[in-house]
Amino acid sequence: MFELRAPSLILGGIGRTAQGRTRTICVTGGAGFLGSHLCTFLVESGHRVFALDNFHTGRRANVEHLLCSGQFSLVQHDIVAPLPDDLPAFDEIYNLACPASPVHYQSDPLATLDICSRGTRNCLERAVRDRARIFHASTSEIYGDPDIHPQPESYWGNVNTLGPRACYDEGKRFSETLMYEYARRHGIATRMARIFNTYGPRMQPDDGRVVSNFVIQALKGEDITVYGDGSQTRSFCYVDDLIEGIIGLMASDEPIEGAVNIGNPVEISVRTLAEIIIEMTGSASRIVYRDLPQDDPRRRRPDIGRAGTVLGWAPKIALCAGLECTIDYFAEQIESGGLERGM
Ligand code: NAD
Ligand code: UDP
Q: What is the pLDDT of residues 216-228, one digit of tens each?
A: 999 999 999 999 9
The Cα–Cα gap between 204 and 143 comes to: 24
Task: List phi, psi (to 5°) of 52.
Answer: -105, 125
Q: Contact 284/131 with Cβ under 8 angstroms?
A: no
Closest-lying ligand 1 atom to the alpha carbon of residue 172: 34
- Cis bond upstream, residue 205 (ω within 30): no
Closest-lying ligand 2 atom to the alpha carbon of residue 197: 25
pLDDT at 298: 96
For residue 10, how far is its CA from the centre of ligand 2 (angstroms)?
Answer: 31
Q: What is the pLDDT of residues 236-286, one digit of tens each?
A: 999 999 999 999 999 998 888 899 999 999 999 999 999 999 999 999 999
For residue 113, how far is its CA from the centre of ligand 1 (angstroms)?
Answer: 13
Q: Contact 97/27 with Cβ under 8 angstroms?
A: no
Cβ atoms within 10 Å, residue 68: 8
Name the pTM for this structure.
Answer: 0.94
What distances in angstroms separate CA 252 from CA 48, 144, 175, 228, 312, one per listed residue? Answer: 20, 29, 22, 41, 10
Ligand 2, atom 23, lies closest to the CA of 296
List the one residue out of 162, 313, 182, 180 whose CA is nearest residue 246.
313
Closest-lying ligand 2 atom to the alpha carbon of residue 292: 11
Ligand 2, atom 18, lies closest to the CA of 209
Please provide the distance, in angstroms rounded to a whole number, between the alpha carbons at the two ends of the chain: 16
Catalytic residue among 94, 105, 143, 168: 168
ipTM above 0.85, yes or no: yes
Residue 13 has pLDDT above 70, yes or no: no
- Based on the residue annotation, tell me whether 168 is a catalytic residue of this protein: yes
Burial class (CB in 10 A: 0-12, 13-18, 19+), 167: buried
pLDDT at 254: 84
Residue of 28, 33, 39 to test ligand 1 pocket, by largest number of atoms within 8 Å of CB: 33
101 lines ligand 2 (CB under 6 A): yes
pLDDT-based confidence at residue 10 (cuts at 50, 70, 90)? very low
Ligand 1, atom 22, lies closest to the CA of 97
* Ligand 1 site residues, Cβ closer than 6 angstroms: 28-29, 31-35, 52-58, 78-80, 96-100, 115, 119, 137, 139, 195, 197-198, 204
Nearest ligand to residue 28 Cα: 1
Give residue 153's identity as a one-letter amino acid code: E
Query: Which residues, 6 or more positions from 258, have their beta carbon under 8 angstroms from its beta carbon?
Result: 153, 180, 192
Q: What is the pLDDT of residues 81-112, one digit of tens each?
A: 999 999 999 999 999 999 999 999 999 999 99
Residue 8 has pLDDT above 50, yes or no: no
For residue 35, how far is its CA from the centre of ligand 1 (angstroms)?
Answer: 7
Mean pLDDT confidence for 163-181: 98
Mean pLDDT confidence for 171-179: 98
Residue 167 has pLDDT above 90, yes or no: yes
296 lines ligand 2 (CB under 6 A): yes
List the one residue out of 59, 42, 57, 184 whose CA is nearest residue 124.
184
The Cα–Cα gap between 101 and 98 comes to: 9
pLDDT at 6: 35
Beta bridge partners of 95: 28, 136
139 lines ligand 2 (CB under 6 A): no
What distances in angstroms separate CA 110 from CA 82, 160, 167, one per listed residue? Answer: 18, 16, 7
Q: Contact 238/197 with Cβ under 8 angstroms?
A: no
Q: What would the DSSP string read from start to end of 32-92?
A: SHHHHHHHHHHHHTT-EEEEEE--SS--GGGGGGGTTSSSEEEEE--TTSPPPTTSPPPSE
